[in-house]
Structure 1
């Protein structure tokens, strides 16, 4: 992500193609679920910018679903400046907005740029949140975030290091539905009365999310 207004006016291109995690392919085809004008995509490189401004944010998804047994990864830079209240994320979901979705999350909380939250849902039930301290400010540069999802385990990685591993236990629910890859940028100030991400106060500086897949 970038935060300066100049960057928000430059269409994504191949300048960050070298950042794409090894072994991944660029996302050539995405669907923007809302505010398409706030989401810019360079199919050749897979680079995506999402802006938060007076229009609100945006959400995009890859057009095909993934099955257990693989991994997704992206190089992400969080927005700089005062981002309290905002949630920016990268996640897998069987269908966003569905009451019985399976989901696996990376979530960046705008009031703490040195942490990332992980979570997963099964049939719409979450409550498995964990917050992980990062050894860097996630707005200072691009870092790699990856989810490996299989029939027996889920692993979340940051810059190649496993920060969380969940193993399937007998008799407990497990995410098994085919899932889309999503990302979004939105104002979460109202969640838990601002205790989750803080409260967004507005700014004249645009927030831009960049991801190189």
Structure 2
């Protein structure tokens, strides 16, 4: 499964690189959380509320992507194709957010992704991957981190709401000390800078923002046991409220002023070097109540826990 997933990702990245400036976007005309997690913690007011047609280009399935006048974007999956889009900007550090409403009903075998990545053998990457399920069964959110080309850091959680019933926010806070994955402002994962322990960190390459929907039924739902039922196609995931407050890297050769040594941005403030006590409690609750897989505790795969696990909460 891991080999197939890696091959799919390599193929997707090659296609993405070749088609990044491809066709423009096609134009077309309350969940019960009682007793669950606390309200979101906001790190910063968003700086840029971006419009999909100006911020993104299509790299796959242009006839399966639709924008609406109210600034929503639909990615659709049929038995002929999925779809994907890529940002025109690259970033290093900051906060990036997207609101998603996932495929409803029987979403078995579907994979909807929202991630940041660079290119090349030693690329960096931060993944949100939403694995569909049978009607009435919960989605699984899989996150992963690649640093200097090394990944296989999967963690999986159930969400404490139905992500297909309404929009929810999925964000990344990225600075020189840590990377935090948020769902509706609740931290669900932390990846610390452990360079002092000999572990690579994501601090040398800018990353773009990408999303896609595709057929992952060889592995996505119950290990591939449950396949896509194409009778329910098209499968539609909807995106809105893409916004960012981040350091934009305009070229691949010059470090931007906002990332230069000695420059301080809001995300460099000591308050963002680690989680607050309240956030630690939120993260612990996610880990204790919603985690279904963690590479750090998979002793068959990692008889000795990877070095970074102890410091990543």
Task: Tell me if TM exceeds 0.5.
Answer: yes
Q: Offset of 1:47 from its aligned partner?
A: 2.3
Matched, 1:62 2:87: yes
Which residue is equivalent to 2:165?
A: 140
Correspondence for 1:190 among 207, 215, 218: 218
Which residue is equivalent to 1:110?
A: 132
Distance 2:58 2:177 in 1: 31
Distance 1:114 1:193, change over 3 A: closer
Q: Is the 8 A contact 1:75 1:211 kept in 2?
A: yes
Correspondence for 1:150 among 175, 200, 207: 175
Q: Is the 8 A contact 2:182 2:189 kept in 1?
A: yes
Distance 1:183 1:38 in 2: 13
Distance 2:107 2:232 in 1: 12
Distance 1:114 1:136, change over 3 A: farther
Distance 1:162 1:89, change over 3 A: same
| Structure 1 gap segments, 5+ residues each | 1-9, 13-20
Distance 1:199 1:155, change over 3 A: same
**Rg: which structure is higher?**
2
Distance 2:70 2:91 in 1: 20
Q: Is the 8 A contact 2:106 2:232 kept in 1?
A: no
Q: Offset of 1:53 from its aligned partner?
A: 1.2
What secondary structure sits across from 2:63 in the alignment? helix
Matched, 1:205 2:230: no
| Structure 2 gap segments, 5+ residues each | 1-26, 30-43, 243-313
Give the structure-2-normalised TM-score: 0.56
Which residue is equivalent to 1:29?
A: 55
Which residue is equivalent to 1:80?
A: 104
Q: Deviations over 1:76-130 (max 9, x none)?
A: 00011211111101100113xx433210011100126343111111232211111
Q: Offset of 1:41 from its aligned partner?
A: 3.0
Give the structure-1-normalised TM-score: 0.81
Query: Which protein has the bigger strand share?
Result: 1
Q: Is the 8 A contact 1:115 1:134 kept in 2?
A: yes
